């Protein structure tokens, strides 16, 4: 793909990301956390809310055995790391499968994370650790990793073409 075409698609995606996707993520998150603040303010629990933002919530777990409190984070996918991943894939002219991997992995985390968040609030709060794992590790890893993998695939394909050119 030509550079001008890649820059065009990056611009289109940035517009979509900031004008549409950002609002969708905010609305979904606000729907998910409706009533969570009231629930934690009325229950005496070792878990409390330290921050609620437009698309992120931080819980603090305190217990007698732990010297310092543990912060557990839940954040909606398709945010900054998705933006970095998609722009990176456009920059390296990745094949369509890489875009699909990125989108489906964020969608899977959105669905699983939403289910786990619901269960952790309504059933057992220790499940929030799963969302923390998704937020802190899986989303950044898959978003940056898919770009790195696309670059390696490009080099492999280019290397194979050069090898064929030498032998053929």
Has residue 161 been placed in a domain?
Answer: no
Q: In whole angstroms, what is the distance from residue 103 CA to residue 127 CA? A: 24
Phi and psi dihedrals of 91, rounded to 5? -65, -35
The verdict on residue 168 lying in a domain is: no
Model pLDDT, residue 105: 96
Q: Per the structure block, which two tokens stand in for 138?
A: 């899986």
For residue 164, pLDDT beyond 60:
no
Q: Which residues pair with 73 in a beta bridge?
A: 58
Residue 131 lies in a domain: yes
- Span 79-102, average pLDDT: 94
Look at residue 113 and tell me if it is in a domain.
yes
164 assigned to some structural domain: no
Could you report how far apart the first and last alpha carbons of the chain are, in Å? 26
Residue 117 CB neighbour total at 10 angstroms: 22
Alpha carbons 93 and 3: distance in angstroms, whole number? 9
23 lies in some domain: yes
- pLDDT exceeds 60 at position 44: no
Tell me what pLDDT residue 38 has: 67
Report the number of distinct structural domains present in the chain: 1
Residue 76 covered by a domain: yes
Q: What domain range includes position 100? A: 3-156
Question: What integer pLDDT is reported at residue 84 of this predicted model?
Answer: 95
Write down the pTM of the prediction.
0.82
Would you call 129 exposed, middle or buried from its count of C-beta atoms within 10 A (0-12, 13-18, 19+)?
middle
Distance CA 71, CA 129 (A): 10
- Over residues 54-59, the mean pLDDT reads 88
Q: How confident is the model at residue 50 (pLDDT cuts 50, 70, 90)?
A: confident
For residue 69, what is the DSSP state?
P
3-state secondary structure of 34: coil
Tokens of 127: 């499940």
Which H or E run contains 49? strand 47-52
Confidence check: pLDDT of 45 > 70: no
H-assigned helices in 71-138: 80-91, 96-122, 128-133
Indicate the average pLDDT of the chain.
86
Q: Is there a domain that residue 163 lies in? A: no
């Amino acid at each position: 793909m030509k550079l001008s075409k890649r820059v065009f698609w990056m611009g289109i995606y940035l517009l979509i990301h900031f004008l549409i996707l950002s609002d969708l993520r905010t609305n979904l998150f606000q729907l998910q956390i409706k009533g969570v603040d009231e629930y934690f303010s009325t229950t005496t629990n070792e878990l409390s809310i330290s921050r609620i933002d437009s698309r992120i919530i931080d819980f603090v777990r305190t217990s007698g055995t732990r010297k310092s409190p543990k912060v557990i984070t839940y954040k909606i996918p398709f945010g900054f790391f998705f933006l970095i991943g998609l722009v990176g894939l456009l920059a390296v002219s990745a094949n369509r499968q890489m875009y699909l991997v990125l989108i489906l992995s964020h969608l899977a985390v959105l669905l699983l994370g939403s289910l786990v968040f619901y269960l952790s609030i309504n059933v057992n709060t220790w499940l929030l650790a799963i969302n923390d794992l998704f937020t802190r590790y899986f989303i950044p890893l898959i978003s940056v990793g898919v770009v790195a993998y696309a670059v390696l695939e490009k080099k492999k394909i280019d290397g194979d073409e050069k090898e064929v050119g030498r032998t053929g």
